[in-house]
Chains A and B, each alone.
Chain A
């Protein structure tokens, strides 16, 4: 009988870091093509639209970068947290916390105009941090499972926000559940005329570089990796585990908070129900696809930005529902997790012939 088996690898070749995400994406597209066929469309046309429409005109290209901006932030947030094995599924809630802080500060009439943008950035980062610190403290002090707490706090924050928007924060003019617009001086500067490319994109790129620097060149990054790879050995070596977890959560929450700040300051200028179509969760897929490498987060975020923006064009042209973008996101996470197994194991064919 022929078959395959898994064998433990003694070493992981470096090129797997590149090949695995690409293979995972490839497999995802193959698997998703079944859905396109079911939707009655031509697979080739659908994928061409999905990938090329967002890159076809300069405007679309810029829009893709605009879309990628919050994804870079949430991808980085998850990367930092996962490196320490702090399972932060709560980037979504931390993003909203940052957005609320930014909307609040940006609408504050008492502040001098020049201070608004810096204060929004700081305040948003701080709000994200605080929201991430709650599960971190629970984990570090009381060993409460971080997957559960970070995930559930998303809903606490979301419904808390909705309660505010339906009550004290309701737009007095329109009566919609939207927060008041931020002041004009609080709007992020536009980097490219006649586009929506705002300061946030620059901050996101800087954040990717900063996170890389932190992970590679600082004692904190060193300790985060150590704690993530082997908690017990890190404790034995004298690393203060609790402090590392709290600092990781602070950094992670701040990054996710900045995603929200960018959306408020550069795109929506207010907080409303649909502010984030799950950027925090997409951040998890991005971080995994980037194999927790901060620089890899940037291309991974751009890929999903392409998929998300391209989905509209594909839907218009072929009638395939836009939800295909969500399926691709979910499927890439699954295929990537399956592919990660290959970093530790190799597949070998069972040979039946003698010799």
Chain B
């Protein structure tokens, strides 16, 4: 008899109310496997992995690890069975050092012994997988890539043989992603198993040997990544429909919509802008690239009206901004898609219709003399739900129950309803599936062709290259360089992101 698989999940089902998040899912992971787990938002990837990691208990189904049936009731159970997970959002203590973070949860030994044990394990892990960390470094000083490395090391130190990575490359530079892949390959070569969840198909193609595709809680397909399958085919399997790349006409730049000259923001807890110069015209998309934490969020907040500049020039449509507030930026025709659509863009606890009119409630269209025009609000919401194809049970549903893609559509529906002349879009497709991403991209290109200027801040280089007419790279609060899309390459953008080269 052959060796049992490292992990076997059989017939896993999980319902939430009427929704079958997982419906009889089978999944096998062998030692030495890097398994890609693909699926649109709401397809059940996260639920499945949360079941494996003990966050949820399945309604039915069996899990066996190395041939032995197990019941995983909590994340500590999961770790005891050798299952480790690196979430999209890290669970680290920012003010502690790397070593201290690794010691959390390692109880039962004396502190001194523990220290030496961990240091020894760190060395061991560095040798085996090339995951280097400085034990005394403070987490708050680490880059996102290093923090992720720490999360991986944390799982490995606790004895993980199966590692689940949820969207691990979302915030990494291309170079950091390559480093991560090297470590994952080393793990596989030492008969560990890796589950790699991602929306980025080219990365799934690059790193996995086998891909399981979930659709509406069921396994829709399982394919070997042996070079015969194309990225496009994967995308089609995922959404069950054909996908064509967005077509883009050449830009016809019009009048200057936004100009920043030596723009600075106050320092302090956040990174500051240290003299940003840029100009963007109607009918073009300016992509902003950069490793997160180099001032992109602050640039977005300045344009959104949330972060008053400390100096320099900020002009909209050729005129300085008179009174700097979020509302006045809206009044100047700035549409704004914030990075954190749940926390900053929408209000999960309110009905969808309220969120759709949130920024415009004072307009005559939606209220008169301080009284709401409920009928008009409902009509507007229904109309936008329809024209943006938002999947929701109606305008009265709680916004928080919508999926990521539908939340983003709702936000677009709100901001685009007023025909902005300048659109700020920060990480507009982060966490969205292929179909929703396609939708957002299509809308952006339509807007651009209608002479809107779009500032597209993204950590997804593929997206930036697909949409932008010019790409500006930010590093430490400055624009390193602005490249024309015809001449820009991933390699030179990657170098600029790391602070190498540039015209300034």
Do these two chains interact?
Answer: yes
Beta-carbon contact of A232 and B343 below 8 Å: yes
Say yes or no: A233-B374 contact (C-beta < 8 A), given A226-B358, A238-B325, A238-B330: no
Q: Is A146 an interface residue (CB 8 A)?
A: no
Beta-carbon contact of A219 and B16 below 8 Å: no
Report chain B residues within 8 Å CB of A351.
57
Beta-carbon contact of B347 and A229 below 8 Å: yes
Report chain B residues within 8 Å CB of A220.
370
Instruction: Map CB proximity to A onto B50-74 as digits: 1 under 8 Å, 0 otherwise.
Output: 0000001100101000000101010
Which of A218, A230, A232, A238 contacts B348 (CB under 8 A)?
A: A230
Q: Could you say which of A5-13, A48-56, A179-187, A315-323 contacts chain B? A: A5-13
Q: Could you say which of B141-149, B243-251, B289-297, B359-367 contacts chain A? A: B359-367
Q: Is B336 an interface residue (CB 8 A)?
A: yes
Report chain B residues within 8 Å CB of A236.
304, 306, 326, 336, 338, 344-345, 359
Instruction: Map CB proximity to B onto A261-272 as digits: 1 under 8 Å, 0 otherwise.
Output: 000000000000
CA distance A7 to B56 in the complex (A): 7
Q: State which residues 356-391 of B face A: CB under 8 Å.
A: 358-359, 361-362, 367, 370-372, 374
User: What is the minimal beta-carbon distance from A187 to any residue of chain B, in angstroms?
Assistant: 35
In this complex, what residue of A is CB-closest to B304? Answer: A236
In this complex, what residue of A is CB-closest to B377? Answer: A222
In this complex, what residue of B is CB-closest to A216? Answer: B372
The total of chain B residues at the interface (CB under 8 A) is 39
Beta-carbon contact of A225 and B71 below 8 Å: no
User: What is the minimal beta-carbon distance from B69 to any residue of chain A, in angstroms?
Assistant: 7
Which of B56, B60, B347, B401 contacts A234 (CB under 8 A)?
A: B347
CA distance A219 to B401 in the complex (A): 24
Q: Is A312 an interface residue (CB 8 A)?
A: no
Which of A218, A225, A233, A240 contacts B344 (CB under 8 A)?
A: A233
User: What is the minimal beta-carbon distance from A346 to any residue of chain B, in angstroms?
Assistant: 10
Q: Is A193 an interface residue (CB 8 A)?
A: no
Report chain B residues within 8 Å CB of A225.
350, 354
CA distance A237 to B370 in the complex (A): 17
Q: Is B464 an interface residue (CB 8 A)?
A: no
CA distance A235 to B343 in the complex (A): 11
The total of chain A residues at the interface (CB under 8 A) is 29
Beta-carbon contact of B57 and A11 below 8 Å: no
Beta-carbon contact of A237 and B343 below 8 Å: no
CA distance A354 to B358 in the complex (A): 49
Report chain B residues within 8 Å CB of A237.
326, 358-359
Beta-carbon contact of B371 and A219 below 8 Å: yes
Which of A11, A223, A229 contacts B401 (CB under 8 A)?
A: A11
CA distance A234 to B338 in the complex (A): 13
Central interface residue in A7, A220, A237, A240, by most chain B CB within 10 Å: A237
In this complex, what residue of B is CB-closest to A230? Answer: B347
Say yes or no: A226-B350 contact (C-beta < 8 A), given A233-B345, A234-B358, A355-B60: yes
In this complex, what residue of A is CB-closest to B305? Answer: A238
Report chain B residues within 8 Å CB of A222.
354, 361, 372
CA distance A350 to B58 in the complex (A): 10
In this complex, what residue of B is CB-closest to A355? Answer: B60
User: What is the minimal beta-carbon distance from B236 to any residue of chain A, in angstroms?
Assistant: 29
Say yes or no: A230-B343 contact (C-beta < 8 A), given A7-B56, A217-B374, A225-B350: yes
Beta-carbon contact of A350 and B304 below 8 Å: no
User: What is the minimal beta-carbon distance from B42 to any residue of chain A, in angstroms?
Assistant: 11
User: What is the minimal beta-carbon distance from B337 to any residue of chain A, in angstroms?
Assistant: 11
User: What is the minimal beta-carbon distance from A339 to any residue of chain B, in angstroms?
Assistant: 18
Q: Is B270 an interface residue (CB 8 A)?
A: no
CA distance A278 to B326 in the complex (A): 42
Report chain A residues within 8 Å CB of B326.
235-238
In this complex, what residue of B is CB-closest to A235? Answer: B326
Report chain A residues within 8 Å CB of B349.
229-230
Q: Is B92 an interface residue (CB 8 A)?
A: no
Q: Is B327 an interface residue (CB 8 A)?
A: yes
Which of A11, A219, A348, A354 contacts B362 (CB under 8 A)?
A: A219
Say yes or no: A10-B345 contact (C-beta < 8 A), given A234-B358, A238-B325: no
Central interface residue in B304, B330, B344, by most chain A CB within 10 Å: B344
Q: Is A174 an interface residue (CB 8 A)?
A: no
Q: Is B255 an interface residue (CB 8 A)?
A: no
In this complex, what residue of B is CB-closest to A228? Answer: B349
Beta-carbon contact of B398 and A11 below 8 Å: yes
Instruction: Map CB proximity to B onto A340-355 as digits: 1 under 8 Å, 0 otherwise.
Output: 0000000010111011
Beta-carbon contact of A10 and B358 below 8 Å: no
User: What is the minimal beta-carbon distance from A353 to any residue of chain B, in angstroms?
Assistant: 10
CA distance A232 to B466 in the complex (A): 31
Which of B346, B347, B370, B401 contacts A10 (CB under 8 A)?
A: B401
CA distance A348 to B14 in the complex (A): 13
Q: Is B17 an interface residue (CB 8 A)?
A: yes
User: What is the minimal beta-carbon distance from A143 to any residue of chain B, in angstroms?
Assistant: 14
CA distance A217 to B373 in the complex (A): 8
Say yes or no: A350-B347 contact (C-beta < 8 A), given A219-B371, A222-B354: no
A to B CB contacts below 8 Å, 13 in the list: A218-B367, A219-B371, A222-B361, A222-B372, A230-B347, A230-B348, A233-B344, A236-B304, A236-B306, A237-B358, A238-B325, A240-B325, A350-B57
Q: B residues engaging A (CB < 8 A)?
A: 16-17, 19, 56-57, 60, 62, 69, 71, 73, 304-306, 325-327, 330, 336, 338, 343-350, 354, 358-359, 361-362, 367, 370-372, 374, 398, 401
Q: Which 8 A/B pairs are nearest by Cβ-Cβ distance?
A: A238-B327, A237-B359, A230-B347, A237-B358, A238-B326, A229-B349, A229-B347, A219-B367
